[in-house]
Structure 1
Amino acid sequence: MDRYQLQHNLFYWYGMAGVFLLGFFTADTYLSEVMGPSGGAAASLEDILDGMVYDSTFLLILVSTLLSVILGQEFSSRTVGLEISAGHSRKSVFVSKAVVYLAAFHFMTFIYPVAGCIREYPRFGIARPGDFFCHALKAFSYSVLLNSAVFLLTICVCCWSKSMKKAVGVTAGTVFVLSLYLGYGMMLGFPVAFLPIYQIRVVVSTPQLWQPEGILVGVVWAGVFFLMAWKIFKKSDFR
């Protein structure tokens, strides 16, 4: 049911189209500065991919806000309560929504760098396809883990507020504040290693496949928000 509802939600597909166009038309901006002023010029399609994943913090604000709009609608319209009243267990409803929404919005974030790579493919080509796709798999795998923290925060807010308007406001504000802290924290030397949105930058800017600190940060944040969301959902009154 969740997958069917999302497939027919125009907000989601408009968002998907918007993210693709954003990635396609901003790809050229990564040619001179791949990962910020110290990143140097792009020399391959891998550099474009890394730069767009590295610079995806602002995208998380947009995507997580859209997630709060769509999932928040289900709470505001009492769709969740109707599913539970129909005999579905709270656990099955919660897990199905978490899985479907996480998968759908991770796919949306992937569209951004994919669109950029499509735009820049005629310029760079792919010299070693195997190496490129292994590199992309690393970037996307860590993105799934670390972005899950932000998306599960959004799901947690939706379960707590049970209102689209409140969920949008709290989600957009929280992710924006975290992004501001990341930007100023990196400039002023504040501790930022605990942030998933910082660890994404570390992963794509270093060649090592195994990134234990990034894995730990992602697992802790995602685990905490998943458990919080489930605890709130389990005790909520949907009547």
Structure 2
Amino acid sequence: MYCLIKAELYKLVHDKSFFILSALSVMLGSFLMLDQGQLTGYDSVSASLYNAPILMLLTCVFGALYLGKDFADHTLYHMICAGHSRNHVFFSKAILFIVGSNIILLLQPILSIAYNTGSHGWGGHSFGSDSSKVIALFFTTAVLNSAMCGISLLMAFICRDIGKTLSIPALIYFLNIFLLNGPNAKTIAHFIPLGQLRLLIEDSSSIGAALLVGIIFLMCFCLAAVRIFNRSELY
């Protein structure tokens, strides 16, 4: 499995779409923060992560390009024929996809915090006392994003097509946005990853509750995807 992860890492760092989407994420996230004015590093944590649900749409695009392309190129078929187990192939693919997606999502907040801290200081109490809270917030955001990425992962192994792997997760994403702007948004938000992320940024939910929702969704999507992959015919 180590060799597979190493091969996937090589593929990721040579994937032009990964760098293009990362750059788009940084530019879009920075544009959405233009009306915030001058922020300290501490203030930019919540300000930058507040836009994370919008940037998650870019991870849907990345999922279609990174995962869907393997079926178009028959990459997974050749991996299985080379003697690798399906479970190892799946999890190496899933791990690097999730890592890449979280880099795309979190790169702009990290750069924003670093820039504002250097320009206007940290603010808050002190970086040392606030660091554990910031790390927990970033980790929870990554878990919730991974849960949303699980949709792309599942659709990739069901549809085996770049177009459907993009369109279905994007449709589910916009359905989530619609529900979170509906009359029952406060209730629904507690039970879906995208809603928990918004609640977390607004300080209306706890780290534990958000992690629980994210882990449950991620595990369900991954177990369903690997089950389908293990039973499917590759060609």
What interval of TM-score do these two structures reach, taking the shorter chain for normalisation?
0.7 to 0.9
Residues 145, 219 of structure 1: 8 Å contact kept: yes
Residues 24, 118 of structure 1: 8 Å contact kept: no
Give the unaligned 5+ runs of structure 2: 1-6
Aligned residues: 227
RMSD over aligned Cα atoms: 2.2
Residues 29, 55 of structure 2: 8 Å contact kept: no
Cα pair distance change 1:213/1:132, threshold 3 Å? closer
Moved >4 Å (runs of 4+):
none
Q: Distance in 1 between matches of 2:137 and 2:29?
A: 16
Q: Is the counterpart of residue 61 in structure 1 residue 61 in structure 2?
A: no
Deviation, 1:129, is 1.9
Deviation, 1:176, is 1.6
Residues 149, 222 of structure 1: 8 Å contact kept: yes
Cα pair distance change 1:99/1:20, threshold 3 Å? same
Partner of 2:222: 226
Q: In structure 1, give the amino acid aligned to 2:55.
A: L
Task: Indicate the percent of aligned positions where both proteins have the same amino acid.
Answer: 22
Cα pair distance change 1:125/1:186, threshold 3 Å? farther
Deviation, 1:70, is 1.7
Partner of 1:105: 101
Q: Distance in 1 between matches of 2:36 and 2:91?
A: 38
Greater shift, 57-66 or 221-230, is seen at 57-66
Cα pair distance change 1:186/1:43, threshold 3 Å? farther
Residues 29, 51 of structure 2: 8 Å contact kept: no
Partner of 2:33: 27
Cα pair distance change 1:30/1:238, threshold 3 Å? farther
Residues 143, 214 of structure 2: 8 Å contact kept: yes
Cα pair distance change 1:165/1:207, threshold 3 Å? closer
Partner of 1:193: 190
1:29-76 CA distances to partner (integer Å, 9 max, x unpaired)? 234xxxxxxxxxx86422221122123111111222222222111112
Cα pair distance change 1:157/1:207, threshold 3 Å? closer
Residues 22, 104 of structure 2: 8 Å contact kept: yes
Structure-to-structure mapping, 1:30-179, within 5 angstroms: 30-31=36-37, 44-121=40-117, 124-127=120-123, 128-179=126-177
Partner of 1:3: 9
Deviation, 1:207, is 8.9
Give the unaligned 5+ runs of structure 1: 32-41
Deviation, 1:199, is 1.0
